[in-house]
Structure 1
Amino acid sequence: MKKTLILVRHATAEDQSFRIKDFDRNLNSKGLSESLAMGKWLVQEGVKPDAFVSSPASRAFKTAEIIAGQFKVSVDDIQRQEGIYDGGPRAYLQAVNNASEQYSTLILFGHNPDITYFAEYLSGASIGSMKKGSAAFIEFKNQKWEEISAKTGDLVLYKTPKQVREEE
């Protein structure tokens, strides 16, 4: 059975400052708009995520919440994975490898640079640096989530909020 992993980098957040811990940075108005545009686009494209997994950091979780909302998925159904915030690409791999086999499409929300490294690690593709709010679709053929590792997937689509807006 084919598996699809959608990696979403959190949308644009407020700048870092000494007043706010990095973990607590929220999306700014541009980020809210990017998340909404991507969520609407995913629904229009007929994407059907079986599970939403997110970093617990404010900006990633809010991106997940807005996109999940477009699918009429409750915020309570978004799984928080602590390691995605600062555990490096290995934490992303662990989140994917531990996904239930009943899921065929998993959407995972995280942070750069790790999310870009992870997408490139799984697919062998060169993405450069994932833009804020962008999504990378990686497909795996005849694999279980627990078997996914380096270069086992194909990058089939990479989409940015800017590209989505240009199509409207």
Structure 2
Amino acid sequence: MKKTLILVRHATAEDHSFLIKDFDRKLNDKGLGESAKMGEWLATANIGADIFVSSPAPRAYQTAEIIAEKLGLNADQLISDRDLYDGGPKAYLNALNSVSESFSKLMLFGHNPDISHFAEYMSGTDLGSMKKGSVAIIEFEGLKWEELSAKTGQLTLYKTPKQVSETE
């Protein structure tokens, strides 16, 4: 059965300062708009997921909440995975490999540089740095979640909030 991984980098957040720890940064107004725009685009394009896993950092979790809402899901369906905040690309692989076979589409919300490195690792595509709020879709044929590893998927779509705005 085909597996689909939808990677979402958190949208634009407030700046890091000595008053705000990096982990605690929230989306700013631009980020709230980017998340809503991407959620609406995903809904219009009929791109959804069976399971949503997010870093618990507010900027990633808020991005996940907004997109889930636009896709008609309740925020309590989101799964928080602490390792996605600072666990490196290996944490993303662990999250992916532990998904139940009853699901075929995973939407995973995280941070740069890990999420960009992970997209490249899984697809073998030189994606570069994912833009804030962007979505990368990687598809896998004939493998179980636990079997997915380096270069086993194909990048089928990459979309940024700017690209979505330009098509409106």
Pairwise TM-score range, normalised by the shorter structure:
over 0.9
Give the residue type in structure 1 aligned to 2:48: K
Q: Which residue of 2 aligns with 1:165?
A: 165
Partner of 2:67, secondary structure, is: helix
- Once the two structures are TM-superposed, the CA of residue 75 in structure 1 deviates from its matched residue by 1.1
RMSD over aligned Cα atoms: 0.5
Partner of 1:157, secondary structure, is: strand
How does 1:22-101 map onto structure 2 within 5 Å?
A: 22-101=22-101
Deviations 1:84-118 (A, max 9, x none): 00000000000000001111111000000000000
Partner of 2:142, secondary structure, is: coil
How does 1:124-143 map onto structure 2 within 5 Å?
A: 124-143=124-143
TM-score (ref. length: structure 1)? 0.99
- Once the two structures are TM-superposed, the CA of residue 48 in structure 1 deviates from its matched residue by 2.6
- Once the two structures are TM-superposed, the CA of residue 83 in structure 1 deviates from its matched residue by 0.2
Partner of 1:163, secondary structure, is: helix
Q: Which residue of 2 aligns with 1:122?
A: 122
Give the residue type in structure 2 aligned to 1:43: A
Question: Percent identity, aligned pairs only?
Answer: 65
User: Aligned partners of 2:14 and 2:62: how far apart in 1?
Assistant: 13
User: Aligned partners of 2:43 and 2:146: how far apart in 1?
Assistant: 27
Give the residue type in structure 2 aligned to 1:71: L
Q: Which runs of structure 1 show a deviation greater than 6 angstroms over 4 or more consecutive aligned residues?
A: none
Q: Number of residue pairs matched?
A: 168
User: Aligned partners of 2:129 and 2:48: how far apart in 1?
Assistant: 26
Partner of 2:92, secondary structure, is: helix
Deviations 1:120-148 (A, max 9, x none): 00000001100000000000000100000
Give the residue type in structure 2 aligned to 1:103: F
TM-score (ref. length: structure 2)? 0.99
